[in-house]
Amino acid sequence: MAAPVTHAQDTVRVEVDGTTGRVVLTAARRRNPLSVATMRAVTDGVRQVAAADGVRAIVLAAEGPAFSAGHDLSKMVDRTLEEEREVFAVCTEMMRAVHEVPQPVIAAVQGMAVAAGCQLVATADLAVAAEGAVFGTPGVKIGLFCSTPMVAVSRAIGRKRAMQLLLTGETIDAATAVEWGLVNEAVPAEALEGRVAELARQVADASGATLRIGKEAFYRQIDLSEDEAYAEMSEVMATNAMTCDAQEGMSAFLQKRRPVWQHR
């Protein structure tokens, strides 16, 4: 059953289909720019579908020929410092929401994903791109270095490759984005929707409680030292093993049957 539809100046659509929630950018004619209103709507939409009963995967998608051209530059000229700060504070909240919701978030990318659009792809837990997609952080070309996109992009692809994108403003194609680790895979454009739906179904086949534990643990350990990570994750696995679904899953494996999840 579909969830209530949310609009921000008709730029975002939110829907739920079974175990998958979708947050879709709909300003196709303008290449889906990320204004403050749109970013707030994405943040609200991600949280809305995350709270819907039964949702175990969230897809970030976009209508039209581009995923997102990044921040809406038309709303960043002749503004006060406080207004500019608001743009990046709201953007940061959107990125944090993607990481903080318990469900894995999958970006479905076609066409252009640059600047904050590239940041959103890098922030997503998983990403699938159409073969014609391009990615970049071109802010240096207009005098506005992509400093906030740099946070997510550098963590996804490493220092040297991130600096190459940031310092040159060049774009990379989908195959390179896969090679660099910015996206998981590239598929023909006509197969994008189906592949993302398949990936969402694969994710949703797991226990919702286990997905929540694992996603939170992943981002908690990723920047720790190896010793700190092992200490924390050992405790996570021990407590995870005590959950109803872990006990059910292990029993089902030993008994050669499918598990019946309680999602707790």
pLDDT at residue 192 tops 90: yes
Strands (E), the chain: 12-17, 20-25, 57-62, 105-109, 112-114, 126-130, 134-136, 171-173, 185-187
pLDDT at residue 6 tops 80: no
Residues sharing a CB contact under 8 Å with residue 199, sequence separation 6 or more, in sequence order: 57, 106, 126, 128
Judge whether 12-204 and 208-254 match in fold.
no
Record the pTM: 0.93
Q: Look at strands 12-17 and 20-25 and give their pairing.
A: antiparallel
What fold, for 208-254? Lyase 2-enoyl-coa Hydratase; Chain  A, domain 2 (1.10.12)
Six-digit token string for 104: 């894995």
Quick one: average pLDDT of 129-158?
A: 97
Domain boundaries, the chain: 12-204, 208-254
What fold, for 12-204? 2-enoyl-CoA Hydratase; Chain A, domain 1 (3.90.226)
Report the pLDDT value the prediction gives residue 10, as an integer from 0 to 100: 81
